Amino acid sequence: MLETILDGLLPIAFVVMLGWLSGRLGLLKSADAGVLAVLVIRFALPFALFEGAIGTAPEKLGHLGFAGCLLFGLMGSYLVALAMGRYLFRHDLRTSTVQALVCAFPDMAYFGAPVLAAVFGPEGFLAVLVGNLITSIFMLPLTMVLLQLTEPDAGAKREQAWRVFLRSLGQALLNPIVWLPVLGMLLSFAHVKLPKPVAISVGLVAGSAGGASLFALGLMLYGERFRINANVLANLGVKNFLQPVLMLLGALLFGVAGAPAHQAIMTGAVPTATAAAMFALRSRTYMADATATILLGTVLGLFTEAVLIACFAR
């Protein structure tokens, strides 16, 4: 069990620390993480998801219960956090929307993919693949619509809400992190095997996803302020604890068991994505609490994932 935990988490902690040290020693600047982010989000991770999809058996990709479980956990925690921000903390809709994203958007690219791949092998990318589709098609467009409705001239833009949603959805579908995994799924359903030279080429790019993403995460976290308040504690409670519980309930509701259920629960325990802080920055609200949640959630995530690996280790 200890070996399984170390295999899954020690490499992650090591590479994140390297990224943090590169910032601490002045070898790189936090802004340089943007270059690595482009590499991961635009190239490495899409090809890693494509590789995982085309290498996964069609019957596993067609498991609608698994998609339903992830949808229940991800969007359930989003709606809970949205209501929490609006009615418990009395935030306006704009701030509550960003808080909901902070509480529900797991860092599947930087944190989740390496952990799941280390524990479950190539099939671990299935949860990242399906979860990424859900966030791209449901969570992010909904966030864009709600933020649009909070603009100063929102009264004139309310009629355009569906246009905003459809435009956001269209942009998401054109993103390689969405359509490349979908292409891999289609090829898997068609029982298409990549020629060996093509498979090696894809693997060369895909193999850089884990290391580059974790290094970028450590570099992004360097310089973040340590901040604890009621909002941050509530965010950690929803993201690191409630979301995996909702994934468990979703697994029970949709009849998901075994490794897929374990993947869903571990995906729920993944800390908040750094992209949530980008939304906070762009919307000019909730920035300090968002970055504090990401920083503390990443540290806490190492421990919660270790507990889950221990629970699921055979």
Phi-psi group of 284: left, alpha or beta (phi > 0 → left; psi -120 to 50 → alpha; rest → beta): left
Sequence-ordered alpha helix ranges (H) in 42-124: 45-54, 58-61, 64-83, 93-104, 113-120
Dist. CA 187–CA 184, nearest whole Å: 5
Q: Tell whether the model's pLDDT for residue 253 goes beyond 90.
A: yes
**Once rounded to an integer, what is the mean pLDDT over residues 225-253?**
93
Is residue 253 within 8 A of residue 103, CB to CB? The reply is: no
What percentage of the chain exceeds 90 in pLDDT?
A: 33
Q: Based on the number of CB atoms within 10 Å of its own CB, is 241 exposed (0-12), middle (13-18) or buried (19 or more)? A: middle
More confident residue, 123 or 272: 272
The one-character DSSP state at 25 is T
Dist. CA 185–CA 236, nearest whole Å: 33
More confident residue, 295 or 268: 268
More confident residue, 182 or 7: 182
Number of H-type helices and E-type strands within the chain: 19, 0
Residue ranges per structural domain of the chain: 2-312
Q: Tell whether the model's pLDDT for residue 169 goes beyond 70.
A: no
Q: Could you tell me the pTM of the whole model? A: 0.78
Q: From the options 1.20.120, 3.30.450, 2.115.10, 1.20.1530, give the CATH code of 2-312.
A: 1.20.1530
Q: Tell whether the model's pLDDT for residue 162 goes beyond 70.
A: no
What percentage of the chain exceeds 70 in pLDDT?
A: 89
Q: What is the pLDDT of residue 33?
A: 78
pLDDT digits (tens, 9 = 90+) for 209-223: 778 877 877 887 787
Q: What is the pLDDT of residue 72?
A: 97
Q: Tell whether the model's pLDDT for residue 76 goes beyond 90.
A: yes
Spatial neighbors of 57 by CB under 8 A, at least 6 apart, are: 188
Q: Tell whether the model's pLDDT for residue 159 goes beyond 60.
A: no
Q: Cα 31 to chain center, whole Å?
A: 21
Q: What is the pLDDT of residue 4?
A: 67
Phi-psi group of 121: left, alpha or beta (phi > 0 → left; psi -120 to 50 → alpha; rest → beta): left
Dist. CA 162–CA 153, nearest whole Å: 16
Q: What is the pLDDT of residue 147?
A: 79
Q: Cα 214 to chain center, whole Å?
A: 13
> Average pLDDT of the chain?
84
**Once rounded to an integer, what is the mean pLDDT over residues 263-290?**
84
Q: Tell whether the model's pLDDT for residue 186 goes beyond 80.
A: yes
Q: Based on the number of CB atoms within 10 Å of its own CB, is 11 exposed (0-12), middle (13-18) or buried (19 or more)? A: middle
Confidence label for 277 from pLDDT (cuts 50, 70 and 90)? confident
pLDDT digits (tens, 9 = 90+) for 12-65: 788 889 989 999 999 998 778 778 877 877 888 788 878 877 877 777 766 789
Q: Tell whether the model's pLDDT for residue 89 goes beyond 80.
A: yes
**Once rounded to an integer, what is the mean pLDDT over residues 227-249?**
95
Confidence label for 161 from pLDDT (cuts 50, 70 and 90)? low
Angle at 70 between CA 199 and CA 242, to 5 degrees: 130
Dist. CA 234–CA 80, nearest whole Å: 11
Closest by CA position to 277, among listed 89, 102, 22, 70 = 102
